Amino acid sequence: MKPKITFFFILVCSIVISSQANEQGFISAVISEKGLDFIKELLVTKAISSLTPLQLPQIERIVKIPLVGNLRVVFSNITIYEINVSSSYVKPGETGIAIIASGTTCNLSMNWYYSYSTWFSPVEISDKGRASVQVEGMEVGLTLGLENQGGTLKLTLFECGCYVKDISIRLDGGASWFYQGIVDAFEEKIGAAVEHGITKKLTEGIIKLDSLLQALPKEVPVYDDAALNVTFVNDPFVNNSSISLEIDGLLTKARKAIYLNYHHKQLQPLVSCSDSPKMLGISLDEAVFNSASSLYFDADFMHLIVDELPEQSLLNTAGWRFIIPQLYRKYPNDNLNLNISLSSPPVIKISENKIDGTIYADLIIDVLESNQVIPVICISLEIQGSGLVKISENNLVGSVKLNDFTMTLKWSKVGNLRMFLIQPIMWTIIQTVFLPYANSHLGKGFPLPIVRGFTLQNAEIICSTSVITVCSDVIYEESLNLAKLLFFSR
Ligand SMILES: *[C@@H]1O[C@H](CO)[C@@H](O)[C@H](O)[C@H]1NC(C)=O
Ligand SMILES: *[C@@H]1O[C@H](CO)[C@@H](O)[C@H](O)[C@H]1NC(C)=O
Ligand SMILES: *[C@@H]1O[C@H](CO)[C@@H](O)[C@H](O)[C@H]1NC(C)=O
Ligand SMILES: *[C@@H]1O[C@H](CO)[C@@H](O)[C@H](O)[C@H]1NC(C)=O
Ligand SMILES: *[C@@H]1O[C@H](CO)[C@@H](O)[C@H](O)[C@H]1NC(C)=O
Ligand SMILES: *[C@@H]1O[C@H](CO)[C@@H](O)[C@H](O)[C@H]1NC(C)=O
Ligand SMILES: *[C@@H]1O[C@H](CO)[C@@H](O)[C@H](O)[C@H]1NC(C)=O
């Protein structure tokens, strides 16, 4: 067989330095060497094996034999049954990523048929049978480009090739001692058909994979009618150990305000999970959380009327008799409720190993008197809390714990108050009513932008200046059958 250029299994992601310099992603993700290896393994084992059974076009040839005449040989129903990849590896480089698979084997079966007629005998002589073919040491290769095209990832196939090193054909039936010679002469043609067939199928597969990337949603629903903008910004960054991607990462409705505030900010360094060798790193800028917070504020989300308390006596003016005597005097034995609402969006600050939150709320004491709600006192609260985050499935789930709070009297219809007497009551209300309410919402979690079918596993969370980084391995949900879903469904 004549020497051929060996194509390796090369995935090259071209980096096009784009002019979208004003764009900034607030969530970035890095797929590490370990992660690329995982994806490679998934593609190689699932996608390559899903190529089969692969039907190849029939091969027909007329051989002129001196003194004998024309010999017509046909191989039909050529089918590749099984492809095994013995070793493969992924190698990202400055110009892209290489995945090299070698020692690939496959077997195929086919029908053979031949006929000839001679000048001296008008009777056509023919025979037919089946043959099996074993292909050894095959190499398959692709060269791909990956770029950001209008907010989605575009996968381009630059080159795709397959190289058959060794082929052996065994005929069943017929006078094989005679035909083996002819068949051997066809080795190269069969090899070429295998190379062409696999190349064609892989090309189709890449087009399919690209259309799946194009079809990835640009928004992920987060509560009610809010959505996380998962539009890709900037081009993927590839070096010799990882691929980095950036997405917008803000909640769509709150985008404008946040974007203006953060626009001139220094770009964050790319995600680093170097201390923990995980497959994937996702960094979320604090702007992401502040966009959620301002969205909730705009949506009048944190709005709470309290008519039940662990200390129920506080919901009657009698319970306040010694604390705010003038309230009791003015509205003796009337029931109360508390109206707590946010007065400005909560502010989230992420720093080295901690998350701080400040919640600004107004608490209004309403007197309920003969079907009337009379607001009598308004107290402004500034609650300092510290946040805890953890991973639950693919969500970042938060909770907040009270550190401290300050309170001021905003207005009062019952004169001045002795605030130091109210302090412990406020503390109780914040601890027993307000924070549990806030935590029940934070507990719903914030969805991390993970492609469907993949689930985080053994995640670690690292807080650094203004960034939360999730370093995690991922597992793939077998039941979704990537091969069928992503690649070569027929
Ligand atoms: C083609 O091959 C398959 C499997 O080897 C066989 O079942 C089928 O009968 C063959 N078709 C023809 C027309 O020979
Ligand atoms: C693929 O690998 C399996 C298990 O190692 C082996 O049984 C089978 O014969 C191989 N098939 C081919 C086509 O090499
Ligand atoms: C191909 O190899 C597999 C596994 O070894 C075997 O089951 C199958 O019969 C083989 N097919 C042909 C056509 O040799
Ligand atoms: C590759 O890029 C990642 C993130 O962009 C970085 O953490 C890593 O140090 C880089 N590796 C090399 C060898 O330059
Ligand atoms: C990546 O490149 C750096 C410097 O060019 C080199 O030191 C490092 O070993 C390379 N890493 C891999 C995984 O090839
Ligand atoms: C989503 O983010 C992209 C890139 O930052 C931006 O161009 C687009 O307007 C955003 N979409 C919405 C609905 O805010
Ligand atoms: C609660 O207080 C806010 C102002 O802080 C007010 O807009 C709202 O109407 C009040 N709700 C009730 C039910 O009194």
Q: Has this prediction a pTM greater than 0.75?
A: yes
Q: What is the mean pLDDT of the chain?
A: 82
| Centre of ligand 5 from the C-alpha of residue 39, in Å | 20
Pocket lined around ligand 3, Cβ cut-off 6 Å: 81-82, 107, 109, 132
pLDDT digits (tens, 9 = 90+) for 178-216: 566 666 678 888 899 999 998 888 888 888 888 888 888
Strand partners of residue 402: 385
- Section 420-443 average pLDDT: 92
Q: Does the CB atom of residue 246 touch ligand 6 within 6 A?
A: no
Pocket test for ligand 2, best of 44, 45, 82, 194 (most atoms within 8 A of CB): 82
pLDDT of residue 177: 54
pLDDT digits (tens, 9 = 90+) for 46-93: 777 777 889 999 998 887 777 667 778 888 999 999 888 888 877 776
pLDDT(337) > 70: yes
Task: Please give the number of the atom of ligand 4 that sits closest to the Cα of 271.
Answer: 4
| Centre of ligand 3 from the C-alpha of residue 357, in Å | 63
| Centre of ligand 4 from the C-alpha of residue 132, in Å | 48
pLDDT of residue 209: 82
pLDDT of residue 279: 93
pLDDT digits (tens, 9 = 90+) for 280-306: 999 999 999 988 888 878 776 678 899
Distance CA 296, CA 286 (A): 15
Exposure string of 135-160, with b = 16+ CB inside 10 Å and e = fewer, is beebbbbbbbbbbbbeebbbbbbeeb
Pocket lined around ligand 2, Cβ cut-off 6 Å: 82, 84, 105-107
Task: Please give the number of the atom of ligand 2 that sits closest to the Cα of 84.
Answer: 1
| Centre of ligand 4 from the C-alpha of residue 242, in Å | 7
Strand partners of residue 297: none
pLDDT of residue 212: 83
Position 316 confidence tier, pLDDT thresholds 50, 70, 90:
very high
Distance CA 252, CA 231 (A): 11
Rounded to 5 degrees, what angle do the CA atoms 453, 458, 464 make? 110
Q: Nearest 10 degrees: CA dihedral of 458, 357, 266, 397?
A: 20
Pocket lined around ligand 7, Cβ cut-off 6 Å: 305, 339, 341, 362, 364, 373
pLDDT(15) > 70: no
pLDDT digits (tens, 9 = 90+) for 127-163: 888 888 999 989 987 777 788 999 998 888 877 778 9
pLDDT digits (tens, 9 = 90+) for 471-488: 999 998 765 454 444 443
pLDDT(7) > 50: no
Domains and CATH numbers, the chain: 10-15+23-217 (3.15.10.10), 250-470 (3.15.20.10)
Asked if 166 contacts 102 with a C-beta cutoff of 8 angstroms, the reply is no
